[in-house]
Amino acid sequence: MSKAATAVNNLEDIEIGLLLDGLYQAYGFDFREYSRASIKRRILEMMRAEHIGTVSHFQSRVLHDAACLDRFLLGLSVHATTMFRDPSFYLTFRRQVVPLLRTYPTVQIWVAGCSTGEEVYSLAILLQEERLYPRCRIYATDISQVVLRKAREGIFSLAAMREYTNNYQQAGGTNESSDYYTAQYDSVIFSSALKSNIVFSEHNLATDGSFNEFQVILCRNVMIYFNKDLQARVHNLLYDSLSMFGVFGLGNKESLKFTPRAAFYQHLNDQDKLYRKVM
């Protein structure tokens, strides 16, 4: 890399730091300890989409334009999700976790980083089929109000739902996936009964604290975008929010190894990253 290119790269890094600090100071959204390489790539992509040449100019737009701020928050958050993502996870949950949940009179569940809601509705369907849903309350949280609005609506493309059918079947689905939604033209809307025990709410894992005690916490494919310090803090937050003998689920590319609470969990299933709090 030439000296000029190095200088530009260093300047961009400084400006990105100022942008993230300004975002936190002004609005309380804290991305300062997310993976910097990933954050930088996304910011530069958004700048190109907004036709803005410098990070400093982009900072001014983000901090003073509410619509641009919404687009920025949506762009920084990762929303790659599908119904019954990693079907074996849900099959293992059905076989190993559901029997544990049957021992509770009520079950509080936290899906942290719920994105547009596909995995939340997947969990609701599974619990419905296992006749546990009436005694469950699912708290689905995300940092972005934009994706939370979509999640609350429960409206998805019909084409996507057709693709998800195979996932549902591999996850041990006992009915037809179409039993849970109504098709309208090229979209589907999930039934009000399926939404009845779901609470969608804004929550920032980087800055907000615990808000309940849960028998199940799923935080899947979220912390891979955090740096090590933030990962450790979030692991502590989730541990403190989980009841004794509660179940914790991670994404298939994540692990409890080398985390501050690794020794406090029993491994229910290493392949599908399900753990039980025992200390």
Is residue 136 within 8 Å of residue 102, measured between CB atoms? no
pLDDT of residue 80: 66
pLDDT in tens, 77-105: 766 689 999 999 999 999 999 999 999 99
For residue 196, the SS3 value is coil
Indicate the pTM of the whole model: 0.84
Task: Let me know whether 145 and 68 are in one domain.
Answer: no
Query: How would residue 47 be classed by pLDDT, with cut points 50, 70 and 90?
Result: very high
E strand or H helix that includes residue 156: strand 155-157
* Domain containing residue 62: 3-76
- Give me the pLDDT at residue 7, please: 64
> Are 259 and 137 in the same domain?
yes
Residues 117 and 22 in one domain: no
Is residue 37, in this structure, part of any structural domain at all? yes
Structural domains of the chain, count: 2
pLDDT digits (tens, 9 = 90+) for 165-211: 999 999 999 999 899 999 988 999 999 999 999 999 999 998 999 99
Spatial CB neighbours of 87, under 8 Å, sequence gap ≥ 6: 167, 168, 170, 171
Same domain, residue pair 35 and 110? no
Of 45, 76, 107, which one is at a domain's C-terminal end?
76
